[in-house]
């Protein structure tokens, strides 16, 4: 007895449910891998990527880490990005943060949680870089919500700045990078209005997006 029998049981029910509607679903899936989307999201258990956008296995490539961070020294995230763009030819990269993010909370409040503090330094960099916007918030909840949004915007920027995305745009591969945020309390995704499809598009859109926060 592993204590996880209920999960295996759930899995059998899940397979039965899908194959009842589409008997060849899994055998077809075994033959190809052609997702159109790459999701870069938080590891938070309340933000299950496929489920909240109603996609089935095979439809979305997924990378998740604490606070949906994209940095050029993370070989794991970069490998996912490179494979998704160069090999799978995804058409959309979605960076999705979420309100009520524990990583953002810890970063905002300088909490000491252990090794992860080092990872969350990247969110603190976003906080410090955009302190003019965040400090204007009327209360802490609003400030953290702003930080969660600005963290998405900065990570979209980092995706756009990778040589992987730059090279894809250079060779005119169709590729759009998007910034979204998800509400744990209502299940709704909001588009942050930062959608980029070329280097020149990035150069004009990034300052525009930040300008909206300063108004
Ligand atoms: Co989170």
Q: Give all domains of the chain, ordered by start, each with its CATH number.
A: 1-32 (no CATH), 33-214 (3.40.1050.10)
Q: How far is the CA of 22 from the centre of ligand 1 (A)?
A: 34
Q: What is the mean pLDDT of each run of 10 residues along the chain (215 residues)?
A: 95 97 95 96 98 97 98 98 98 98 98 98 98 96 98 98 98 98 98 98 97 90
What's the confidence (pLDDT) of residue 1? 81
What's the confidence (pLDDT) of residue 215? 78
Q: What CA–CA distance (Å, rounded) separates 169 from 192?
A: 22
pTM (2 d.p.): 0.97
**Residues assigned a catalytic role:** 42, 44, 46, 98, 101
Q: What CA–CA distance (Å, rounded) separates 34 from 108?
A: 38
Q: What CA–CA distance (Å, rounded) separates 98 from 44?
A: 9
What's the confidence (pLDDT) of residue 44? 98
Q: How far is the CA of 56 from the centre of ligand 1 (A)?
A: 23
Helix and strand numbers (H, E) in the chain are: 10, 5
Give the chain's largest Cα–Cα span. 59
- DSSP state string for 122-135: HHHHHHHHTHHHHT
Q: How far is the CA of 28 from the centre of ligand 1 (A)?
A: 34
Q: How far is the CA of 96 from the centre of ligand 1 (A)?
A: 10
Q: What CA–CA distance (Å, rounded) separates 70 from 39?
A: 12
What's the confidence (pLDDT) of residue 136? 95
Q: In 109-193, which ranges are continuous DSSP H helix? A: 116-129, 131-134, 140-161, 163-170
Q: How far is the CA of 68 from the centre of ligand 1 (A)?
A: 7
């Amino acid at each position: 007895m592993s204590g996880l029998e209920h999960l295996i049981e759930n899995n059998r029910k899940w397979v039965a449910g899908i194959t009842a509607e589409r008997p060849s679903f899994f055998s077809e899936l075994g033959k190809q891998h052609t997702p159109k989307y790459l999701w870069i999201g938080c590891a938070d258990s309340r933000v299950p990527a496929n489920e909240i956008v109603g996609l089935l296995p095979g439809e979305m490539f997924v990378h998740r880490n604490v606070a949906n961070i994209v940095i050029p020294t993370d070989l794991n995230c970069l490998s996912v990005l490179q494979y998704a763009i160069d090999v799978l030819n995804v058409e959309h990269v979605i960076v999705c943060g979420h309100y009520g993010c524990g990583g953002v909370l810890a970063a905002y409040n300088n909490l000491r949680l252990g090794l992860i503090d080092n990872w969350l330094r990247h969110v603190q960099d976003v906080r410090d870089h955009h302190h003019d916007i965040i400090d204007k918030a009327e209360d802490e909840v609003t400030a953290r919500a702003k930080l969660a949004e600005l963290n998405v915007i900065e990570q979209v920027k980092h995706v756009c700045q990778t040589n992987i995305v730059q090279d894809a745009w250079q060779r005119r591969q169709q590729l759009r990078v998007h910034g979204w945020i998800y509400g744990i309390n209502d299940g709704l995704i909001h588009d942050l209005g930062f959608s980029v499809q070329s280097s020149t598009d990035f150069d004009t859109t990034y300052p525009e997006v930040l300008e909206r926060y300063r108004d």
